[in-house]
Structure 1
Amino acid sequence: MVYLGDKLLYHNIVPCRGLFNLVVMSLVSIFCFKVAISVSFTVPSSVSTEGLEAEGLLKWRHSLDNQNQALMSSWVGNSPCNWTGIACNEFRSITNISLSRTGLRGYLPQEICNGGVLVNFTANDNYFIGSIPKSFRNCSSLYRVRLDRNRLTGNISEDLGVYPHLNYIDLSYNNFYGEISHKWVQCQSLQSLKISDNRISGGIPPQLGELLPRQVLDLSSNYVVGNVPKELGRLVSLFILNLGSNKLSESIPMEIGRLSNLEHLNLAANNLTGSIPEQLNGCSKLLNLNLSTNGFTENLPSEMGRLQYLQVLDLSHNLLRGEILAYSHSLQKWKTWNH
């Protein structure tokens, strides 16, 4: 009976061990499966992004003529991180593309920001033509952009998107057209906006005054119409405001005098009228003030003599009344002044 009991006990133990082994093997299989899935969705993603970005840039390089391709002789293979003008992050996704002052001609690369992490894109001082790539519109990771001094065209109201991290953008000296969009307000990190010497039209959106802080606003040499929005007086961190050579009208809003950090103010070559507001003396750090070629009347405010740092004052080609020489005692410290 003891033997039979042992036998029966033995038979009871064996199935339990089998069940235990089965459970262990199942858990191990599940763990391995999860690891395999994790690896498949992490490691190859950076590799495939690198290959996709390389493919797009190589396709663009091959579209250039032989002379331009020779300027990019290092752009070979499937590892763009080793190419001249390209920088990558630790996952080997492209974060910087620098094509500045290379003498390149043709169109900009159409497939950029495929990795979704492009931070800096500079292609200034070249001979690029055509429009801004469509892929640029959704590249929300951008921080710095320079496309100035090319021959680019297109409607900036439609070709550009919203860039929450954008700090600096220069589109000057091109052939862009369209109007200044109020969407710039959504670029809350923007410090410098330069769109001078293009064919921009329409008015200046008052909403631009909601962009704080900002340091440089240059919309000069365009076809901007309307008035100078008083809301710009909220840009208290601004040190360069250039709206010269446009078609602005009406008077200078007294709120501009709130720009206590302003160093350069250019409103020249517009259709501005009325008197020069005495509140401009609130721009106590002004170095350069150009109000020439407008329709300003009345006398020059005596308060202008309080601008102790002013070095250049241009009031030429206006309709100012009175003897400007009466203020010569205040102007002696200014290096240059035209009247």
Structure 2
Amino acid sequence: MKTSLSFLHFLVLTLFPLKSSSSATTEAEALVQWKNTLSPSSSLNSWSLSSPRNLCRWTGIRGNTSGSVSQIDLSDASLSGTIENLDFNSFSRLVFLDLSNNLLEGSIPPEIGNLMEIQYISLYNNNLAGEIPYQIGNFRKVEHLDFGSNYLEIPDCFLDLSLNHLTGTLPQSLFDNLVKLEHLNLTANSFEGPLSANLTKLSKLKDLRLADNFFTSYILDSISLISDLRILELFNNSFQGDIPASLGQLNSLENLDLRMNSLNLTIPPEIGQMHFQAPSHRRGNLQNLQALDLSTNHFSGEIPPTVGNLTNLSILQLYSNNLTGTIPPVIGDLRSLEVLDLNTNQLSGQLPESVSNLVSLKSLSVFTNNLSGILPRQLGRNSPSLANVSFSNNRFSGELPPGLCSGFALNQFTVNNNSFSGPLPDCFKDCKNLNRVRLEGNRFSRNILDAFGVHPNLEFLSVGRNQFTGQLTPKYWERRIRGYQNKWYRRSVNDILFPCAGI
């Protein structure tokens, strides 16, 4: 039975092969070579290597201003044979290909994906068979694609329709006809409405990406029935309500990204709960989860201590919510954690001592909360890759930990608007990668000339409203910052806001 796939935008894992150069001679040779594999047709009588300079006058051939073939229109040309012998690599400037309403058979060769400039392609109403090659995902400029009325099959595993302009609700045929699908990517379209409960018919899915659309209503509780899911991306939609506790059943899940929605209520403790028993009696603890992003929602309540059981987690982002309470000390058990971002919430209390145990930590961001007290003395000493630190806009006090920058990897360091005091750590002057530093609005003291070393990448420094002594002169910075520009907003050391080169 012939398939109906008109105006199909079927994109899958995209490859980027090298573009091949073409000339009138190579294009003419490729066309004649293909002609010789077809059954004789009077439509192609003008195709002859005796007149390659007249290539653009051959039947069905049109060229661009540089003489390259830009259009091949052989619809209704009584062609019989295959397109497997057509050297698509020779037509790097082709924008239009119409072979519809012929008797072509065989398969569509994967080399068709090398038509990187194609905008219109129709193979409609032939006898083509086999799977549509996933290399057509290279058609980034296509506006019309019609493979309908053939005997073609959609590949079982992959369907990537991302970065298009598809609208409306998800079609029922998606759930009825693609039950073997393992990877579905509909990111960056304009789909809308609630998710259909029939989504669970795609029970073999391992990768489900529906991000950056206009989906509404609630996240389906039944998604947990797609038990092999490894990636679930629903970010930047308009989902509301809570996170279904049943997501704790997804034992294979590695990436859960629900940021930029309107989710509210609390973060369910079932995320990470070690002994959660679902109704199906399957244990659900998300022990394979590597990335959890619930940022930019409306979650309230406390961070559940069960997140400390997600021992494979490398990214935990809960920023821009309404979370309250303290940071649970069990976060220090996440020895694989590289990114901890809790900024812009209403968290209170101290930064737990256990955060000093995060040996893989690269980024620690807790700015704009109600945190207070003294930072853990060992913070940074066990985290040699720590590059981004932001404690701004809290109520921290005391001296900065002496080993905070002991790995010398610091790049962004912002602690402004707290009550820190004392000198900067000695290791600070050896951080060659420093790019942005904000110290203003504290009670740092001692001679500021002792705090800095040579920082060739420093672009922004703000040290105002402190108790530093000494004077940072232009001559001082000329020796320490590559490309230094003499731009000073204020000369007093405790009021200085200093943008360096590039700012």
Amino acid at match of 1:321: S
Deviates most, 157-166 or 119-128: 157-166
Is 1:85 aligned with 2:160? yes
Q: CA deviation at 1:110?
A: 2.9
Equivalence map 1:11-160=2 (5 Å): 85=160, 93-158=180-245, 160=247
Amino acid at match of 2:160: G
Aligned to 2:298: 199
Q: CA deviation at 1:157?
A: 4.5
- Give the TM-score, by structure 2 length: 0.49
Aligned to 1:37: none
Q: CA deviation at 1:189?
A: 1.0
Contact 1:225/1:246 (<8 A) preserved: yes
Alignment deviations for residues 87-132 of structure 1 (CA, whole Å, 9 cap, x no partner): 99xx952222211012223333331122522211111111222211
Flag the 1:94–1:245 CA change in 2: closer, same or farther, 3 A.
same
Aligned to 2:407: 307
Cα separation, 2, equivalents of 1:261 and 1:196: 21
Cα separation, 2, equivalents of 1:74 and 1:162: 40
Aligned to 1:285: 385
Q: CA deviation at 1:137?
A: 3.5
Amino acid at match of 1:216: I
Cα separation, 2, equivalents of 1:72 and 1:293: 54
Aligned to 2:286: 187
Cα separation, 1, equivalents of 2:369 and 2:147: 48
Cα separation, 1, equivalents of 2:148 and 2:210: 16
Aligned to 1:11: none
Cα separation, 1, equivalents of 2:388 and 2:147: 45
Alignment deviations for residues 33-89 of structure 1 (CA, whole Å, 9 cap, x no partner): xxxxxxxxxxxxxxxxxxxxxxxxxxxxxxxxxxxxx9999999xx8757953899x
Q: CA deviation at 1:321?
A: 2.1
Cα separation, 1, equivalents of 2:344 and 2:241: 21
What do you get for the CA RMSD once the two structures are aligned? 3.2
Flag the 1:71–1:118 CA change in 2: closer, same or farther, 3 A.
farther
Amino acid at match of 1:112: L
Gaps of 5+ in 2: 1-142, 162-173, 273-284, 440-503
What SS does the aligned partner of 1:209 have?
Answer: helix
Aligned to 1:266: 365
Contact 1:111/1:133 (<8 A) preserved: no
**Greater share of helix residues, 1 or 2?**
1
Aligned to 1:337: 437
Flag the 1:148–1:73 CA change in 2: closer, same or farther, 3 A.
farther
Deviates most, 227-236 or 276-285: 276-285
Amino acid at match of 2:367: A
Q: CA deviation at 1:162?
A: 1.7
Q: CA deviation at 1:326?
A: 8.1
What SS does the aligned partner of 2:216 have?
Answer: strand
Cα separation, 2, equivalents of 1:176 and 1:73: 40
Alignment deviations for residues 290-316 of structure 1 (CA, whole Å, 9 cap, x no partner): 111100011223322423111111001
Of structures 1 and 2, the one with the larger relative CO (CA 8 A, separation 6+) is 1
Gaps of 5+ in 1: 1-69
Deviates most, 283-292 or 103-112: 103-112
Aligned to 1:5: none
Is 1:233 aligned with 2:320? no
Aligned to 1:322: 422
Is 1:209 aligned with 2:298? no
Aligned residues: 268
Flag the 1:203–1:72 CA change in 2: closer, same or farther, 3 A.
farther
What SS does the aligned partner of 1:280 have?
Answer: coil
Contact 1:157/1:180 (<8 A) preserved: no
Amino acid at match of 2:298: R
What SS does the aligned partner of 2:398 have?
Answer: coil
Flag the 1:326–1:139 CA change in 2: closer, same or farther, 3 A.
closer
Cα separation, 1, equivalents of 2:325 and 2:160: 42
Cα separation, 2, equivalents of 1:108 and 1:251: 41
Aligned to 1:35: none
Q: 1:297 aligns with which of 361, 375, 397?
A: 397
Contact 1:81/1:92 (<8 A) preserved: no
Flag the 1:74–1:165 CA change in 2: closer, same or farther, 3 A.
farther
Is 1:163 aligned with 2:263? no
Deviates most, 225-234 or 108-117: 108-117
Q: 1:250 aligns with which of 349, 358, 374?
A: 349
Deviates most, 160-169 or 143-152: 160-169
Cα separation, 1, equivalents of 2:147 and 2:324: 47
Contact 1:162/1:184 (<8 A) preserved: no
Cα separation, 2, equivalents of 1:203 and 1:71: 51
User: Percent same amino acid among aligned pairs?
Assistant: 27
Aligned to 2:107: none
